Structure formats: structure tokens, C-alpha cells
Amino acid sequence: APGLAILATLPDGEIDDILSRTNLVPYTASTVYEPRKIRERIVQIRKQGYAHTEDEYFVSDISTAAAITNAHGRGIGAVNIAVARSRWQAERDEK
């Protein structure tokens, strides 16, 4: 989630360049690693202002992150909260 949150602050051309040079691998069966699907997620992340992932790096790990931006709106870091699925209550926690 932190990487996606930061990525969403970048211009589309830069995102395409980064994705074309990155070895995208599935860490779990839920990992979104296809460039087209990542671009689709970026649109949603920009709308909601944060990234949310479930089971993408570790099974049973839920991560929600927001980018920390500089004065120009470019992501320079992120704030992330990660919890185990057993402690996650979707209706309450993502809100």
C-alpha cells in the first residue's frame, strides 16, 4: 500500500516508465502485479486519497497507506497501517 500511495502522486508517464522497468512478481495469489491493473488501481487511489491492499505481500496482512507529499504534491514517503486479517473489521477500520 505505501508504494502504491506514493506511485499515485506521480504523473502517468512516470508511472508507466517505472512499471516498465520493474520486475513485477506475485508474492501471493492476491498480488496485483499486471501493469494494466496497477494503473487501474492508481485511478482509484487518486480518487480516495489512500491505498488499501489485502493479502498482497503476506497472506492475512491488510495494509492502508497515504502518501506524504512535498510542496509540489510529489510523494516522498507514506504513512502505513498494517493489521492482521483477524483484527480487521472492514466497515469500521477502512473508514
CATH code of the domain covering residue 61: 3.30.450.40
pLDDT at res. 15? 97
pLDDT at res. 16? 97
pLDDT < 70: residue spans in the chain: 94
Domain total in the chain? 1
Q: Which residue range forms the structural domain that includes residue 12?
A: 2-93
pTM assigned to the model? 0.90
pLDDT at res. 47? 97
- The per-residue b/e assignment along 25-48, b for 16 or more CB within 10 angstroms, e otherwise, is eeeeeeeeeeeeebeebbeebeee
pLDDT at res. 92? 79
Counting runs of H as helices and runs of E as strands, what totals does the chain give?
4, 3
